[in-house]
Structure 1
Amino acid sequence: MLGYLEKMKKEQEMEKRKDTTKKVAVGLGVGTALGAVAGVLLAPKSGKETREDIANKTKSAVEDGKKLVSEAKDELENKVKSTEQNVQEKVEEVKEEAEELIEDTKKALDEKSKNV
């Protein structure tokens, strides 16, 4: 019973740590975004330069996002192919083992029927 309670306590502590980590990460991301926006808007540039900066940063962010999505897609496709290959290999192994088992069973039955 004590082991179970200790396990539950550790799980709760781990969940608290995860929650705290998530909050810190979100806060850091929001703070960074707000800082970037404030820096662009408060920079001593003309409105035209500021709009160009915003457009360029937006394009850059979109390109980076596309690149990340493409990389994730490629990685996922590679994992799917690898998994398919592993599954096919296992199917072949099981098929061969089943055929051997069937053959061994037939031999054993033949020997039993000869002895009867």
Structure 2
Amino acid sequence: MILRNLLDFVSKEKRKRERVKAAQKFAVGMGVVAAAGVATGILFAPKLGKETRENLKKKAVNTAETIKDTVRKKVKTVNDSAAHAAQEVSNVIKDVHGKTESVKKDIKDGCHEITQDIHKTAENISNELNKAVK
């Protein structure tokens, strides 16, 4: 059951990472399209060449900064998700280890009790045989 939960959790995290990757691709694509649209608009605007180049440079710098900010945010989100997943997996492993130790102890205690019962039974049988022989 715990293994199934762990596999389900990992599967959910994988789907989440895939959605994040898709969102990143979409954001980058939108940035490129926006930059192309701005560049096209500036190039065809009725301004002097020097003004157009300055505007184009400003827009390119702004677009690059926007893309960097978006990528930083997405990387942070992915890192946070990975850290959360690692913590969850660690917790599951600790839980499984604790339960394993508990089962080992129960088996050891049960084995000890069975051994004692066998010795008592053997002693009782021996006593009964001795009484019957006398």
- CA shift for structure 1 position 34: 4.7
Q: Aligned residues, how many?
A: 89
In the alignment, structure 2 segments of 5+ residues that lack a partner are: 1-14, 40-58, 130-134
Tell me what 1:85 maps to: 98
Taking structure 1 as the reference length, the TM-score comes to 0.66
- CA shift for structure 1 position 41: 1.4
Contact 2:24–2:74 at 8 Å: present in 1 too?
A: no
In the alignment, structure 1 segments of 5+ residues that lack a partner are: 1-21
SS in 1 for 2:108: helix
Tell me what 1:99 maps to: 112
Higher Rg of the two aligned structures:
2
Tell me what 2:43 maps to: none
- CA shift for structure 1 position 37: 2.4
Report percent identity of matched pairs: 18
Contact 2:31–2:63 at 8 Å: present in 1 too?
A: yes
- CA shift for structure 1 position 90: 0.9
CA distance in 2, matches of 1:70, 1:34: 22
**Bigger shift: residues 98-107 or 38-47:** 38-47
In the TM superposition, structure 1's runs of 4+ consecutive aligned residues that sit over 6 Å from their partners are: none
Taking structure 2 as the reference length, the TM-score comes to 0.58
Alignment pair present for 1:50 and 2:63: yes
Tell me what 1:71 maps to: 84
| Aligned alpha-carbon RMSD (Å) | 2.2
